[in-house]
């Protein structure tokens, strides 16, 4: 059984145990021959969860895309950063390096010539709306029908919130949304049904109410999830 706390001990990052377990479980379901793309690896916490899921099931490759200079938000918090060596050390220590293909580049550059069969894409890059929307547009088209996308920090940051809410409300190719703490998951399909669209609308209402409650909980606890 995957032990999130033990596997990610002393690895910097912002991921709850429930989120880590959900990434582990979805990585276990990816079929042989397909791949996972992670946009925004930071120091490898989420990568380790995905890597353990891959190792414990079909040994699929995880393409971990990150320039490793931090987002604008990270740079405001920490100043100039370079997380690449620490990222590599962490995935090596976790024993998942053989399943991870680090791509030290921007999401835009990485997507240009990417031609692997993506069954799952996890988006956790820069949180400004323009960047999250760009990540959505870059990778949604490359995920196979029946595959899944997930966006971290999807209700308490306006960028991921809007960049997922708009497609959920308007797209004919999204169904089965679900929320695990701050991660919004949904399935890409050839075409959804009218009932699927109603479910997507209901999910947005639920996530908004959940987010309002979560916002006040975080505010009064004096904590912050990134």
The answer to whether position 62 is within a domain reads: yes
Radius of gyration of the chain (CA): 17
The answer to whether position 10 is within a domain reads: yes
Does the predicted model carry a pTM greater than 0.85?
A: yes
The answer to whether position 226 is within a domain reads: no
Give me the long-range contacts of 89-93 (CB less than 8 A, separation at least 24): 90/11, 90/43, 90/44, 90/45, 90/47, 90/48, 91/44, 91/47, 91/48, 91/51
DSSP assignment string, 161-198: HHHHHHHHHH-SSEEEEEEETTEEEEEE-S---HHHHH
Strand partners, 174: 188
The answer to whether position 110 is within a domain reads: yes
Question: Do residues 124 and 152 lie in contact, with contact meaning Cβ atoms separated by under 8 Å?
Answer: yes
The answer to whether position 193 is within a domain reads: yes
The answer to whether position 172 is within a domain reads: yes
CATH code of 69's domain: 3.40.50.150
Looking up tokens 């916490």, which residue turns up? 45
Number of structural domains (the chain) is 1
Quote the distance between the C-alpha of residue 152 and its chain's center. 5
Over its length of 226 residues, how does the chain's per-residue pLDDT go in tens digits?
899 999 999 999 999 999 999 999 999 999 999 999 999 999 999 999 999 999 999 999 999 999 999 766 666 666 678 999 999 999 999 999 999 999 999 999 999 999 999 999 999 999 999 999 999 999 999 999 999 999 999 998 999 999 999 999 999 999 999 999 999 999 999 999 999 999 999 999 999 998 887 666 555 544 443 3
Q: Which domain holds residue 25?
A: 4-221
The answer to whether position 47 is within a domain reads: yes
The answer to whether position 171 is within a domain reads: yes
């Amino acid at each position: 059984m995957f032990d999130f706390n033990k596997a990610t001990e002393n690895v910097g990052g912002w991921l709850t145990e429930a989120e880590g377990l959900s990434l582990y479980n979805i990585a276990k379901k990816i079929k042989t021959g397909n791949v996972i793309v992670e946009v925004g690896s930071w120091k490898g916490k989420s990568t380790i969860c995905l890597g353990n899921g891959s190792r414990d099931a079909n040994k699929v490759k995880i393409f971990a895309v990150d320039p490793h200079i931090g987002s604008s938000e990270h740079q405001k918090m920490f100043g100039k950063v370079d997380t690449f060596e620490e990222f590599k050390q962490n995935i090596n220590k976790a024993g998942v390096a053989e399943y991870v293909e680090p791509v030290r580049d921007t999401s835009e550059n990485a997507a240009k010539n990417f031609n692997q069969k993506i069954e799952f894409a996890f988006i956790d890059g820069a949180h400004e709306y323009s960047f999250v929307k760009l990540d959505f547009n870059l990778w949604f088209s490359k995920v196979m029908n029946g595959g899944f996308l997930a966006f971290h920090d999807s209700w308490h940051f306006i960028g991921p919130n809007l960049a997922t809410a708009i497609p959920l409300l308007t797209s004919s190719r999204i169904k089965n949304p679900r929320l695990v703490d701050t991660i919004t998951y949904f399935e890409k399909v050839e075409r959804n049904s009218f009932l699927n669209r109603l479910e997507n609308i209901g999910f947005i209402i639920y996530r908004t109410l959940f987010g309002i409650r979560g916002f006040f909980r975080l505010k009064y606890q004096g904590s912050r999830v990134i």
